Amino acid sequence: MTPNDIPAVEPAPVTVAVTGAAGQISYSLLFRLAAGEVYGPHSRVNLRLLEIPAATDAARGVAMELEDSAFPLLGEVTVTADAETAFDGVDAAFLIGAKPRGKGAQRSDLLADNGAIFGPQGRALAAGAKEGLRVLVVGNPANTNAAIAAAAGSLQPHQITAMTRLDHNRALAQVAAKTGVPVGGLRRMTVWGNHSSTQFPDITELVDADGRGLAEALGGADGRWSTEEFIPKVADRGAEIISVRGSSSAASAASAAVDHMRDWVFGTPVDDWVSVALPSDGSYGVPEGLVCSFPCRSVDGRWQIVQGLELSPAQRSRLDASVAEIAEEWDTVRRLGLV
């Protein structure tokens, strides 16, 4: 930032809560937030670091490192184990902390544990956050955790999202490697459905920077490369990284979270879209309220689901399978009385 870049009136600082603040994803995300990579070079950023009591000391250590980085844009940094304190007056929340699946744990146990986290967090957000609140859920199972927070807090559908941007970015990277078209020259990738192994990374509408379709050259969305290599590669990439790196893909998850929130705030190019999981409005036959990943554009600070794409029977069946999984998770949440 040069003096000429400084606007006459500085915008009000943005206050952002990050949960699971002492975890691996947050360890990358917080520094990028403080560097201005989400809200731009003119916005000061206050950070609220929420952790469970056992990890607040670790979060304090992260706060010390943020202080030592001397970020010109960084305002107040607060470390707390209290959700009301963390979410009071926030503009945005990255909900990253979640209960990991324990050895032998059932899916219903995981949903119950996370219901106990995301329900109260949804209520605390509703009670304290600003009107223009933007929530990104990263902690898994992200789609259903987002639905729990939204239902518990009666959040507006436009306030809540879950992250499929990492899947989207992974899909772009795979196509770039296959075609030689750089990721910056690829447009209109879509990841449909749940952030899980049933997700559907879809190349049907993919074009290059000149608007030339790429799906045909790749054998089509229903072709061998897409179904046998591309889709499994994208869906299993997290596990592949754990096996190669020895720990999870935290930095790329944080990077995707930066992309997601930046685009939500500043918009997406008119000739492109990105993948966002948000409460369905019934588009593409996905039952209203289920948190599902769609192709979305950010316009005037709100996500809009791209309308009018024709789905082939093969696309339809992949989307339906993933939506069935989301619906089943939601049924379990209801059956357990978590919302």
| Residues of the shown chain interacting with ligand NDP in the complex, contacts defined by CB under 6 A | 19-20, 22-26, 50-52, 55, 96-100, 117, 138-140, 166, 238, 248-250, 253
Using the minimum distance from each CB to ligand NDP, give the nearer residue, 79 or 218: 79
d(CA 15, CA 45): 6
Residue 255 CA: distances (Å) to CA of 36, 60, 90, 166, 197: 13, 22, 21, 8, 21
Task: State the nearest-atom distance from the C-beta of 50 to ligand NDP, in Å.
Answer: 6
- Residue 145 marked as a ligand binder: no
Q: Which helix (H) or strand (E) holds 166?
A: helix 165-179
170 labeled binding residue: yes
Q: Which is nearer to ligand NDP, 204 or 252 (CB)?
A: 252
Give the other-Cβ count within 10 Å of 240's Cβ: 11
DSSP string, 105-151: --HHHHHHHHHHHHHHHHHHHHHHS-TT-EEEE-SSSHHHHHHHHHH
Please state the closest distance from residue 172 (CB atom) to ligand NDP, in A: 15
Side chain identity at residue 207, one-letter code:
V
CB of 114 or CB of 315, closer to ligand NDP = 114
Q: How far is the CB of 118 from ligand NDP (least distance, A)?
A: 9
Residue nearer to ligand NDP on the CB measure, 50 or 160: 50
Active site residue 158: no
Query: Any binding-site annotation on 154?
Result: no
Q: Choose, from 42, 158, 168, 195, the residue flagged as catalytic.
A: 195
Which residue is it, tokens 């000739």?
271
Is 114 labeled as ligand-binding?
yes
Which one, of 312, 319, 317, lies nearest residue 283 by Cα? 319
Angle (nearest 5°) at CA 188 between 242 and 205:
110
> By C-beta, is 66 or 73 nearer to ligand NDP?
66
- Does the annotation list 321 as a binding residue? no
Report the nearest approach of ligand NDP to the CB of residue 27 (Å): 8
| Distance of closest approach, residue 215 Cβ to ligand NDP, in angstroms | 26
Handedness of CA 248, 249, 250, 253 (dihedral sign): negative
HSE on the CB side for 298, CA within 13 Å?
20
Q: Which residue is nearest to ligand NDP (CB)?
A: 23
| Pairwise CA distance, residues 255 & 237, whole Å | 15
Asked whether residue 121 is marked as a ligand-binding residue, the answer is: yes
Question: Which residues pair with residue 295 across a beta bridge?
Answer: 275
In 3-state terms the chain splits into helix, strand, coil percentages (rounded to 5) of 45, 20, 35
- Whether residue 219 is annotated as binding a ligand: the answer is no
**Nearest distance from C-beta of residue 169 to ligand NDP, angstroms:** 10
* DSSP code of residue 285: G
23 is in an annotated binding site: yes
The candidate with the shortest Cα–Cα distance to 206, out of 79, 223, 195, 298, is: 223
Nearer to ligand NDP by C-beta: 81 or 309? 81
Q: How far apart are CA 95 and CA 16, in angstroms?
A: 11
Which residues participate in the annotated binding site for substrate? 101, 107, 140, 170
Which residues participate in the annotated binding site for NAD(+)? 20-26, 114, 121, 138-140
Which residues participate in the annotated binding site? 20-26, 101, 107, 114, 121, 138-140, 170
Active site residues: 195
